[in-house]
Amino acid sequence: MKTWFCICILMISLMVAGLGFCQQEQGAPETHSKQGFVAQIDSIGSLLVISDGNEEFRFNVVQGAKIQRGIDNITLDDLESNDVVNVEYYKTPDGALNAVSVTDNNITSSF
């Protein structure tokens, strides 16, 4: 009986620990990453379109998104066509792609 009780306690402990490990932080959407060439920029509409060579991806750049070139903070206006960028984004329930981070991989500085 004592062994059965210890096994049950151990199993419950493992299940609780596993549930905590598997859960994603509530309220924080799952982010993805996409790399491609800048195809279009609309800084007024906060739109960035990139191409991976096969397909184009349209991102709404959310307010407060981090946009960088190297260690320098830049704006959408600083990006240029054909710049290679990495975009960190999440997908909304209606299928829109919202960019939270854009990193320009050009080696030139924004001095």
Q: Is the pLDDT of residue 11 over 80?
A: no
pLDDT one-digit tens code per residue, 21-76: 444 456 778 999 999 999 999 989 999 999 999 999 999 999 999 999 988 999 99
Q: Identify the structural domains of the chain with CATH numbers, from first to last.
A: 31-104 (2.40.50.140)
| 109 pLDDT higher than 60 | no
Residue 90 main-chain phi, psi, to 5 deg: -130, 155
- pTM over 0.75? The answer is no
Cα–Cα distance measured from residue 3 to residue 14, given in angstroms and rounded to the nearest whole number: 17
Q: What pLDDT was estimated at residue 29?
A: 85
How would residue 6 be classed by pLDDT, with cut points 50, 70 and 90?
A: very low
| Alpha-helix runs per DSSP H in 23-99 | none
